[in-house]
Amino acid sequence: MKNVWHYRKIVVDATSISKPISSFLKKSLGSRAFPFHFTQKSKSELGFYLPATVNSSSLKIYRGECSAEYGEFWIELERAKSQHCPNQTMNFYVDPAQGYDDFLTSLALLVKATNQYVPQGAKGNTT
């Protein structure tokens, strides 16, 4: 994975059944792997941060190659719903009767990963 994609940071679901995979990746990849534990509060933070990132024009989604996955991604985004809770948290999801929310959740985690990344400063001489 690290030799093919040359990533800087990844966010890994570390909740429940995914915990062993998250632990393995954290051990293998070190500080480049960021375990994410889904709780009502942490998912709510993702839910508030995602539209803020979209509205600030910080997120760009490139035109796809018309794959089934690209189509499903847009369907999930169109079907996304949010529910605001009395404890000042929110939930975002796709109604299970309408499909899945895997791509929606992955997009939110991607935004979280970019929040964990600090770009390196330029090095070298200035003349």
pTM of the model: 0.77
Q: What is the pLDDT of residues 71-103, one digit of tens each?
A: 999 999 999 999 998 889 999 999 999 999 999
Q: What is the mean pLDDT of residues 32-42?
A: 90
Task: Flag whether pLDDT at 30 surpasses 60.
Answer: yes
Task: Flag whether pLDDT at 127 surpasses 60.
Answer: no
Strands (E), 1-127: 10-13, 33-36, 80-84, 90-94
Closest CA relative to residue 108, chosen from 32, 53, 63, 37: 53
The pLDDT-based confidence of 115 (bands split at 50, 70, 90) is confident
Task: Flag whether pLDDT at 67 surpasses 70.
Answer: yes
Q: What is the helix, strand, coil percentage profile of the chain, to 5?
A: 55, 15, 35
- What is the maximum alpha-carbon separation in the chain? 62
d(CA 13, CA 36): 5
